Amino acid sequence: MEYNFREVEKKWQAHWAKNKTFKTENNSSKPKYYVLDMFPYPSGAGLHVGHPLGYIASDIYARYKRLKGFNVLHPMGYDSFGLPAEQYAIQTGQHPKITTENNIARYREQLDKIGFSFDWDREVRTSDPAYYKWTQWIFIQLFNSWYNPETNKAESINTLIPKLKNFNGLSEKEQSDLLLEYRLAYLSDTMVNWCPQLGTVLANEEVKDGVSERGGYPVERKLMKQWSLRITAYAERLLNDLDNIDWTESIKEAQRNWIGKSEGTSIRFSLTPNPSPRERGTEPGYHTANKKIWERLKENSRENRNNQTEAEELLWEKVRGSKLGFKIRRQHAIDQFISDFVCLERKLIIEVDGEIHNFQQEYDEGRTYRLEEIGYNVIRFTNDSVKNKIDWVCSEIVKALQAPLSFGEGVGGEAFIEVFTTRPDTIFGVSFVTLAPEHELVEKITTPEQKKVVNEYVTFAKNRSERERQADVKKITGVFTGAYAVHPFTGKQIPIWLGDYVLAGYGTGAVMAVPGHDSRDYTFAKHFDLPIIEVVAGGDLSKESHDAKEGKLINSDFLNGLEVKEAVKRAIEAIEEKNLGKGKTNFRLRDAIFGRQRYWGEPIPVYYKDGIPKVLDEKELPLVLPEVDKYLPTETGEPPLARAASSWKKDGKYEYEHSTMPGWAGSSWYYLRYMDAHNDNTFASKEAVNYWQNVDLYMGGSEHATGHLLYVRFWTKFLNDLGLVPFIEPAKKLINQGMIQGVSKFVMEVRVQATFKSLYDQNDKILNVIKDGKVVLELNVGKLDTWHHVFCNYGSSLTFQFKSEGFTLPTVFAVTHASAQFTAATSIESKVYSYHTLLDGWLRAQPSYRPIVITEIPFEAYWHYENKCWYYFNGIKVEDELQDKPLWVVNSEVEKMSKSKLNVVSPDDNPFHLDNREQQDYKYYFSNEEYKPFIIKGILEDYGADALRLYEMFLGPLELSKPWNTNGISGVSNFIRKLWRLYHCADWNVTPLLWRGAGGEAISSEPATKPELKVLHKTIKKIVGDIENFSFNTSISNFMICVNELTELKCNKREILEPLAIIIAPYAPHIAEELWEKLGHKESVTYATFPIHKEEYLVESAFNYPISFNGKTRFFQEYDLSLSKEDIEKEVLGLEQTQKYLEGKTPKKIIVVHNKIVNIVV
RNA sequence: GCGGAUGUGGCGUAAUUGGCAGCCGCGCCAGACUUAGGAUCUGGUGCCGUAAGGCGUGGGGGUUCGAGUCCCUUCAUCCGCACCA
């Protein structure tokens, strides 16, 4: 009787569910072990074969630990808030809750089919009010806490208030605003990543290359009032504690990168008063006229001075010289105009208008605009005012003189620019300072002359999207502000520039530019022709900057001759001595924005009273998500929660917060809830938390490195600070399972191909075929009828170019198109995938279907001239009439499995339902054939859950990503059958062919033989080693070896088969359970005890030594292990074969390694 | 650019401390059987060579009696971060 996996698996799955076989004990004297899987988000697409990889591995481990006598917590739950369900709700109006529940039901059904040993009594869902009550509660704790830098932990906000000066003197609003600056959950105006298409803000890690990770919509920077969590307070601890956890290096490194600690120095650069033009070595300051028309202006000016109006004379007497405290000139030429009175120092122009000016108001406006543009303030008085109210006019002038300049005020004096640098040693190499365009000092320091260009540049930089900015990193833009800073050591003046290579969000938004030793400063300096000073020897600055942190300092005053390391130290000392700045640490990590303008998330437990945000009382939790009529933002752009009934108000009066929490809120603490899933009084009881402690093994994908895995660490540390959990890290060990990738097939329409026709014999001419910029093929154009393969992916471009120069195309070829491009079937990518689905589904539904058919259709090629075309399809050259119809080629690529890529392989049967549009397409593509829904067979139906489990593990190392292919699954399937036979073959003498008929009592109670025991114990030893190292792939091969060897030995002894069933149970639980029952046990194999291997069965008395000469193995010789090295050496030398390989020479040296090898050096 | 990882047969992969390179499986080849299958069983299968033998762990170099493994260098692929001062 062959093994019927369908019956057996169904039987045991039902049994386990009914008997709650995998219940976790609450109070146990057993040691505990906590195995956690990444919180899944059940999507409508269901489970694909990539999902269970990690679950299978952790399930094997959990089952193994149970057999080893541990009380194992191995729970499962769902991250059930999320965007896809909401988007579906927007489209259909169906409540996201219903979608979510349907998805969960399907997900659960699929999980159950794979035979996981989860304790379903502890299932949690983030969208369950009983769960999110505590998510909200934790938020309230965050709101009520601040980070005390002295104790270096979070504390109640009440401990902060006494430290704040004059707190009680502030109004309630002021108090609230002040405290928000300290709270760990706070409301502030923040630059957010706003995604208009999704209608929500996104976290930094949800944005990839300037577009949203989900959907790929553009994202812009926007200032918004938002809830944030002060994760930056924990930056240092999040970084340091990484050293003490057993996580993969790649995850830890990703987190270190993301936190981005850099140690350096802040340095203040004071600003010069704008140097006088003479100091600058340019024109005198009072030469403010437009030089081109200066001669004419000079004439006019002199004439005007001699023809002063009465009013002008009167005013001149009051203001001449420095009577009002500032020097005032009259009839002075500025730009192309002559102004009546001007104070150059204060950039003030005073005009006295007679009647005539009424007629030229428009002209005056233009003139004023121009003068203001170059930084002047223009005030006007009428002749009447001057004559009648001269005192008032003078006081107005004084007021204007004393007012701060519209631009350029603040120059010198107290103002300074603070920069952050990690290379204080290069301070003498500073030749300019660059500010981010958004820097707050820009307005203040820009000189009037530069005002215009600076304004333009700032606007340009602001409107440039983040994406453009990232895309043209190469493009160097910047502008001079006209202002100068003072070098803190040399006292020299160094220009201040703006450049968008400086990021406003990092450090101080200002850098001291050291073009000699920083590549970014270098390109900037080269581009704008700024001086480059070499201060660290060892580079060639004519070509590139010398960024390396090694070499001796030169041109650096007191740092000269020091090595970089020394110089850094010395420079920091000097900077601190002069009180110019101090050592400082910067982090790249930003606070986590916590609000989302979506419906399907946890409501933030906050209400507003007189504009002051207040958190709810614990008694009022949970704040349940209200019903809304539509899941869209309101017309005024308010989040969907604003659509809630007007009664949805705190005490019927106060508005609740309308944002909801982001997806990661609920998943940041779910591992704690599993410990005590039904507790209504606290998020998890003290006893439970103390018993279970943190997760022993966390299995999850590396894609969460900078998101979930950082937040969950942050929340754990926070809860630890509050004394709510006794550990500082959520998981001791973390393993990243690799990704099972999908093979996406692309259907491309070959629209245009290069069309060649050789007019002459051109055997000597070589045509280069260039794919994506690289020459992939050189074709001899005289032999174009010889086929050459050019594999081409979707999106690739092919061009053809002649290798020899001076070769003109038309003379040799009739060329209709000089280049060929392979384009997608339509311009819409999804359509391409959709066609692929059709084709794939159709092929799979064919009786003769083999997976290989689809994956191995290569792009082959197509060319045509005159009325014919040729192409290769499955290696066969096809000649055809040239048609209007497009030619389709199928190409495949390995990428992440995802619904959007339609490359999902489901573990169970997966019916394909096409929408109406797709059904029409189906008709078109398959010659009007009526559409029949087709079912794609899943592995589970074809081979069973045990085979799926074994195969996914057998595929390779757990952490490696690999494309899904089913080519090898028959191997594990055969293995399962062989295993079954081992327990069922009554008569080993029957030929294998007659085997199926054999039955009866196959298991013998005779004592096992020595070789049988050896096989068993060798296997136990290896399996234990493999499991402990999470090397599941090798353990499967060890099982195969074991079964092969026992079959060879015709072993049917209970003494062997019973332990074997136990050790294989974690991997293939269904068949193990069945075999266990066959062995006469009533209770599940889950409660058996894992056997311990006995070394005594493995001891060998002899070893077959490889005898090698100069490291090359020549032959083998068995020696007793009791033989000493000297004895073996003697024996080996006495061998006939040894003499043969020595060829009469005397061995120089003989190395004998006990139980390993003999090496003879000749 | 910086950081991390990986390169081994036709394919997925294996190799305790540096000690027989290629375990296990797929595929392939040959044979057996007939129920003609999505079988099963037996044998073979790194490459070159009839063989003896030689060559082989991305390339080059080094340490060593001995290197897939250690060191240096270089190339390729994948992932993460990225004008982060």
Position A803 pLDDT exceeds 60: no
> What pLDDT shows up at residue A467?
56
A1148 CB inside 7 Å of strand B: no
Write down which residues 383-442 in A have CB closer than 7 A to strand B.
420-423, 436
CB atoms < 10 A from the CB of A910, how many?
18
Distance CA A1147, CA A1135 (A): 14
> What pLDDT shows up at residue A811?
23
Q: Which nucleotides of B are covered by protein (CB under 7 A)?
A: 3-5, 11-16, 19-21, 23-27, 33, 35, 38-42, 65-67, 78-85
- Range name among A17-21, A483-487, A1107-1111 with the lowest pLDDT average: A1107-1111
pLDDT confidence tier of residue A910, bands split at 50, 70 and 90 = low
Query: Residue A369: which residues within 8 A CB-CB, separation 6 or more?
Result: none
What are the C-alpha distances in Å from A943 to residues A547, A954, A993?
Answer: 59, 15, 22
pLDDT confidence tier of residue A537, bands split at 50, 70 and 90 = confident
Rounded to a whole number of angstroms, the distance between the first and last alpha carbons of chain A is: 61
With distances taken from each CA to the C1' atom of nucleotide B24, the closest residue turns out to be A1037
> What pLDDT shows up at residue A275?
46
Å: A960 CA to B37 C1': 35
pLDDT: which is higher, A371 or A642: A642
Position A979 pLDDT exceeds 80: yes
Question: CA A1115, A1118, A1121, A1122 torsion: positive or negative?
Answer: negative
Å: A437 CA to B22 C1': 61
> What pLDDT shows up at residue A201?
73
With distances taken from each CA to the C1' atom of nucleotide B34, the closest residue turns out to be A993
Q: Which nucleotide is nearest to A850 (CA to C1')?
A: B38
Q: Which nucleotide is nearest to A959 (CA to C1')?
A: B5
Distance CA A77, CA A607 (A): 30
Do A1131 and A1138 meet the contact criterion of CB atoms below 8 Å apart? no
Position A412 pLDDT exceeds 60: no
Query: Residue A1099: which residues within 8 A CB-CB, separation 6 or more?
Result: none
Distance CA A24, CA A121 (A): 9
A211 CB inside 7 Å of strand B: no
A475 CB inside 7 Å of strand B: yes
A736 CB inside 7 Å of strand B: no
Stretch A951-975: mean pLDDT, rounded?
84
- Range name among A40-49, A460-469, A1112-1121 with the lowest pLDDT average: A460-469
Å: A863 CA to B68 C1': 46
Of A1099, A983, A1135, residue with least CA distance to A1046: A983
A1037 CB inside 7 Å of strand B: yes
> What pLDDT shows up at residue A937?
62
> CA geometry: angle at A508 spanning A535 and A705, to 5°?
100
Position A292 pLDDT exceeds 60: yes
pLDDT confidence tier of residue A281, bands split at 50, 70 and 90 = very low
A1040 CB inside 7 Å of strand B: yes
Å: A147 CA to B83 C1': 32
- Report the amino acid identity of residue A344: L
Q: Which nucleotide is nearest to A469 (CA to C1')?
A: B83
Question: CA A556, A559, A562, A565 torsion: positive or negative?
Answer: negative
With distances taken from each CA to the C1' atom of nucleotide B66, the closest residue turns out to be A1111
Distance CA A594, CA A225 (A): 11
A845 CB inside 7 Å of strand B: no
Å: A1108 CA to B43 C1': 30
Position A948 pLDDT exceeds 50: yes
Do A713 and A241 meet the contact criterion of CB atoms below 8 Å apart? yes
pLDDT: which is higher, A697 or A1114: A697
Q: Which nucleotide is nearest to A476 (CA to C1')?
A: B83
Å: A533 CA to B69 C1': 47
Q: Which nucleotide is nearest to A423 (CA to C1')?
A: B85
Do A496 and A413 meet the contact criterion of CB atoms below 8 Å apart? no
pLDDT confidence tier of residue A768, bands split at 50, 70 and 90 = low
Position A757 pLDDT exceeds 60: no
- Range name among A350-359, A443-452, A751-760, A839-848 with the lowest pLDDT average: A751-760
> CA geometry: angle at A318 spanning A361 and A388, to 5°?
60
Position A218 pLDDT exceeds 80: no
A511 CB inside 7 Å of strand B: yes
pLDDT: which is higher, A147 or A964: A147
Å: A1053 CA to B12 C1': 34
Distance CA A1092, CA A1077 (A): 22
pLDDT confidence tier of residue A899, bands split at 50, 70 and 90 = low
A1108 CB inside 7 Å of strand B: yes
Q: Which nucleotide is nearest to A264 (CA to C1')?
A: B85
Pairing state of beta strands A962-963 and A740-752?
A: parallel
Structure tokens belonging to residue A826? 């339509």
Position A715 pLDDT exceeds 80: yes
A312-346 pLDDT per residue, tens: 888 888 888 778 777 888 888 887 788 889 887 77
A548 CB inside 7 Å of strand B: no
Is the peptide bond prior to A963 cis by the omega test (within 30 degrees of 0)? no
Distance CA A527, CA A475 (A): 10
pLDDT confidence tier of residue A842, bands split at 50, 70 and 90 = very low
A131 CB inside 7 Å of strand B: no
Stretch A1153-1157: mean pLDDT, rounded?
81
Å: A1106 CA to B42 C1': 30
A1033 CB inside 7 Å of strand B: yes
A1110 CB inside 7 Å of strand B: yes
Position A823 pLDDT exceeds 90: no
Position A884 pLDDT exceeds 60: no
pLDDT confidence tier of residue A745, bands split at 50, 70 and 90 = low
pLDDT confidence tier of residue A683, bands split at 50, 70 and 90 = very high
**DSSP 8-state class, residue A328:** B
Query: Residue A1054: which residues within 8 A CB-CB, separation 6 or more?
Result: A1003, A1004, A1005, A1079
A253 CB inside 7 Å of strand B: yes
Q: What is the ipTM of this complex?
A: 0.93
For chain A, percent of residues with pLDDT exceeding 90 = 25
Å: A254 CA to B81 C1': 8
With distances taken from each CA to the C1' atom of nucleotide B38, the closest residue turns out to be A850
Distance CA A482, CA A497 (A): 8
- Range name among A137-141, A903-907, A971-975, A1037-1041 with the lowest pLDDT average: A903-907
> What pLDDT shows up at residue A997?
38
A1149 CB inside 7 Å of strand B: yes
- Range name among A116-130, A339-353, A906-920, A1026-1040 with the lowest pLDDT average: A906-920
Axis crossing angle, helix A5-19 with helix A1069-1078, rounded to the nearest 10 = 90
Residue A315, CB half-sphere, CA atoms under 13 Å: how many? 33
Distance CA A395, CA A377 (A): 16
Of A520, A489, A522, A502, residue with least CA distance to A458: A502
pLDDT confidence tier of residue A389, bands split at 50, 70 and 90 = confident
> What pLDDT shows up at residue A466?
58
Mean pLDDT of chain A: 77
Distance CA A388, CA A480 (A): 46
Position A794 pLDDT exceeds 50: no
A943 CB inside 7 Å of strand B: yes
Distance CA A407, CA A1119 (A): 95
Stretch A367-373: mean pLDDT, rounded?
73
A467 CB inside 7 Å of strand B: no
A1049 CB inside 7 Å of strand B: no
A1137 CB inside 7 Å of strand B: no
A63-108 pLDDT per residue, tens: 999 999 999 999 999 999 988 888 888 888 899 999 999 999 989 9
What are the C-alpha distances in Å from A769 to residues A90, A747, A792, A810?
Answer: 49, 22, 11, 18
Å: A1065 CA to B39 C1': 28
Q: Which nucleotide is nearest to A512 (CA to C1')?
A: B85
> What pLDDT shows up at residue A288?
66
Please give the torsion angle defined by the CA atoms of residues A964, A968, A973 and A975, in that order, rounded to the nearest 10 degrees.
Answer: -130
A1160 CB inside 7 Å of strand B: no
pLDDT confidence tier of residue A834, bands split at 50, 70 and 90 = very low
> What pLDDT shows up at residue A889?
45
pLDDT confidence tier of residue A369, bands split at 50, 70 and 90 = confident
Q: Which nucleotide is nearest to A505 (CA to C1')?
A: B84
A277 CB inside 7 Å of strand B: no
Position A51 pLDDT exceeds 90: no
A1035 CB inside 7 Å of strand B: no
Mapping DSSP to helix (H, G, I), strand (E, B) and coil, where does residue A598 land?
Answer: coil
Position A943 pLDDT exceeds 90: no
> What pLDDT shows up at residue A233?
92
With distances taken from each CA to the C1' atom of nucleotide B13, the closest residue turns out to be A956
Residue corresponding to tokens 């502000």: A481
